[in-house]
A = this chain, B = another copy of it.
Amino acid sequence: MIAVLQRTLHDEFPITRHLAVRVVHAQLERVSLTAPLAENRNHKGTAFAGSLNAVATLAGWSWLWLLLDSHQEVAQVVVQDSTIHYNRPVLTNFTALCEAPSMAAIVECLAAFRRSGRGRMRLAVEIADDHGVAVAFSGRFVAERTSGRPAGAS
């Protein structure tokens, strides 16, 4: 599944090749993506905020994509909104980790998707470098049946 998700990210989001994002874990318990500092650094040698947000968004997107795939649901995933806190600079290569939300949230999202063709879920992502967690992200992601135009971006 790591290779499938890796290929999916590169195909869906070509710029991830420039970010050099790599899938480390691709399970419903945890999705983690890693990216090198070198490709994502600013001139101060720390990670660019835009790269950190992009990798966090991709981690949440990937988790919901995996959930739908594991239930054989055909859908597109978009992000509707997100909030991010850059608590300190990221100084090394970094990893974005998205763990499963509550079972209640999963059941509700899948039920809404099957009923109406649209299911929403809030997902938390943490980014850590070699020194620990540095960035906290929370995003609202939407699974939509693949007809019509989604109310978000991906």
Q: Which residues of A contact B (CB under 8 A)?
A: 11-15, 18-19, 39-44, 46-55, 57-58, 76, 78-90, 134-135, 149-154
Q: Roughly how many angstroms separate A43 CA and B61 CA in the complex, as a whole number?
A: 14
Q: Which residues of B contact A76 (CB under 8 A)?
A: 44
Inter-chain contact B83/A78, CB cutoff 8 Å: no
Q: Roughly how many angstroms separate A88 CA and B87 CA in the complex, as a whole number?
A: 29
Q: Which residues of B contact A46 (CB under 8 A)?
A: 153-154
* Chain multiplicity (copies): 2
Q: Which residues of B contact A18 (CB under 8 A)?
A: 15, 18
> In the complex, what's the smallest C-beta–C-beta distance from A4 to chain B, in angstroms?
15
Q: Which residues of B contact A13 (CB under 8 A)?
A: 42-43, 48, 50
- Contact partner of A51 among B41, B54, B81, B149, CB < 8 A? B54
Known: A13-B42, A15-B39. A90 touches B50 (CB 8 A): no
Inter-chain contact A87/B151, CB cutoff 8 Å: yes
Q: Roughly how many angstroms separate A41 CA and B11 CA in the complex, as a whole number?
A: 11
Inter-chain contact A153/B54, CB cutoff 8 Å: no
Inter-chain contact B57/A53, CB cutoff 8 Å: yes
- Contact partner of A53 among B11, B12, B53, B87, CB < 8 A? B53
Q: Which interface residue of A42, A46, A57, A79 has the most chain B CB atoms within 10 A? A: A42
Inter-chain contact B153/A48, CB cutoff 8 Å: yes
Inter-chain contact B154/A49, CB cutoff 8 Å: yes
